[in-house]
Amino acid sequence: MDLHELTRQLNTKNDSKIVMYVGDGLGGLPQHPGGKTELETAQTPNLDKLATEGISGGSLPVAHGISPGSGPGHLGLFGYDPLKYLIGRGALEATGIGFELKEGDVAIRANFCTVDDAGNITDRRAGRLPTEESAPLAVKLREVSIPNVEIFVEPVKEHRFVLVLRGTGVNEGKLNGNVHDTDPQATGVPPLAAQAAEPDSKVTAEICDEFVKQARVLLAGQPKANCCTLRGVASKPSLPSYEEVYGLRAAAIAVYPMYKGLAQLVGMDILGEAKTLDEQMQVLKENWDAYDFFFIHFKYTDSTGEDGDFDAKVKRTEDYDAAVPQIMELGPDVFIATGDHSTPAMLASHSWHPVPTLLWAKNCRPDGCDSFGEDQCLRGGLGQFEAKHLMTLALANAGRLAKFGA
């Protein structure tokens, strides 16, 4: 029996409310030995207060030593074993912008980038150019033409766009999405050629290379976005819903499409079109009575970490904390503050470090932690645990799990 079979059997309905407040990439590292992390440096009085009343620990998104992408990181938080449910980032991004994937489609999360005259990448995100500049360029890439392939290009945000490939005359109309990223995750080198991870994906890899080749011609002369890289090449996934496995009416309040996409794939309703954290809080208030579970996503603790900007991540962490009173005044029965992974500014990338996690509930057993940060979480009552168990903890503290066995 797996975890979802168990929760299906034990889930119990009541009027409790659960809020999972995710600070993307929340965990960090000190800049020097003995120093404080970004979270520990930030002034977080609201989370600190809840830490004294709740229970803390460190969640492992996938497993010890594994640095997760955002997809596996969130799947773990949602209680789906990320080693069992493999979802490519492209499928998340496409679903998040409302693109309806069909069987046999391949979805790709693409980044505009900047290359020099030698073809080497000088900026992997094209300066994070604003959406109003990137969107027309994404539309221009619809001019790419490849025989026997239907191509869809959709703008997303900033340097990102979605590419969907639909085979109309190759592989019997079905493409396979098991292709490695073309982003080398470094500057000073050219984008990688697309490499199939299995023989059945060879045609898809060839199509990817042809797309990038034509895109470079169409983008020639652009000061920033003169090339692109392809990431998260993925086929359409299939997952059981929150209603099926937990008996919850679940909703997501997110700004970025990828996180909306992931939430939608597990059966959450996507609420509102909020662009700021304050607007997200307003959407939460407006929909409070209609749902049992709310996933609220805050992106900027991750993007500042990826930029290697310690001070900016501290500031964004304080923004994350400042919204907590608006959640708590609604009276949730269970409140969780955590991240999908750690993104230390020191590393400027996702990392394998346990993610600070706080669970507050009306009937939880406080553990004596007096603030919310990595050092305190190491001592907390939750210990280090696999993130996939966070949802059962939430359900139990909300009184939504019956006794197992006689």
Predicted confidence (pLDDT) at residue 119 exceeds the cutoff of 90: yes
Contact of 284 with 7, CB cutoff 8 Å: no
Residue 225 identity (one-letter amino acid) = A
What residue type is 205 in one-letter code? Answer: A
pLDDT number for residue 255: 94
Rounded alpha-carbon distances, angstroms, from residue 112 to 76, 146, 220: 29, 20, 12
Whether the per-residue pLDDT at 169 is higher than 80: the answer is: no
Of 173 and 4, the structure prediction assigns the larger pLDDT to 4
Mean pLDDT over residues 86-110, rounded?
Answer: 87
Distance in angstroms (rounded) separating the CA atoms of residues 21 and 377 = 17
Residue 43 pLDDT > 70? yes
Q: What is the pLDDT of residue 1?
A: 79
Whether the predicted pLDDT of 258 surpasses 70: yes
All residues at 6 or more sequence positions from 123 whose CB lies less than 8 Å from its CB, including other chains: 113, 114, 187, 224
The pLDDT value given to residue 87: 82
More confident residue, 102 or 332: 332
* Amino acid identity, position 208: C
Which residues sit opposite 55 in a β-bridge?
A: 359
In this prediction, residue 236 carries a pLDDT of 81
Q: Are 304 and 312 in contact (CB under 8 A)?
A: yes
Domains of the chain: 14-86+239-397 (3.40.720.10), 93-235 (no CATH)
Please say if the pLDDT value at position 173 is more than 70: no
Tokens 């609201």 -> residue: 46
Task: Say what the pLDDT of residue 180 is.
Answer: 95
Amino acid letter for position 338: T
Q: How large a percentage of the chain has pLDDT more than 90?
A: 84
Please tell me the predicted confidence (pLDDT) of residue 104: 86
What pLDDT score was predicted for residue 350? 97
How does residue 147 score in pLDDT terms, banded at 50, 70 and 90? very high
Cα angle, residue 25 at apex, residues 22 and 29 outer, rounded to 5°: 130
Task: Please state at what angle helix 390-397 crosses helix 70-77, rounded to 10 degrees.
Answer: 30
Tell me the whole-structure pTM to 2 decimals: 0.79
What is the biggest distance separating any 2 CA atoms in the chain, rounded to whole angstroms?
A: 71
Per-residue model confidence (pLDDT) at position 92: 81
Q: What is the pLDDT of residues 356-396, one digit of tens each?
A: 999 999 889 999 999 999 999 999 999 999 999 999 999 99
Q: What is the pLDDT of residues 84-97, one digit of tens each?
A: 988 888 888 888 88
Mean pLDDT of the chain: 94
User: Average pLDDT in the 299-326 region?
Assistant: 97
What is the mean pLDDT of the segment spanning 52-62? 97
Q: Taking residues 63-77, report their average pLDDT.
A: 94
Structure tokens at 356: 């600070």
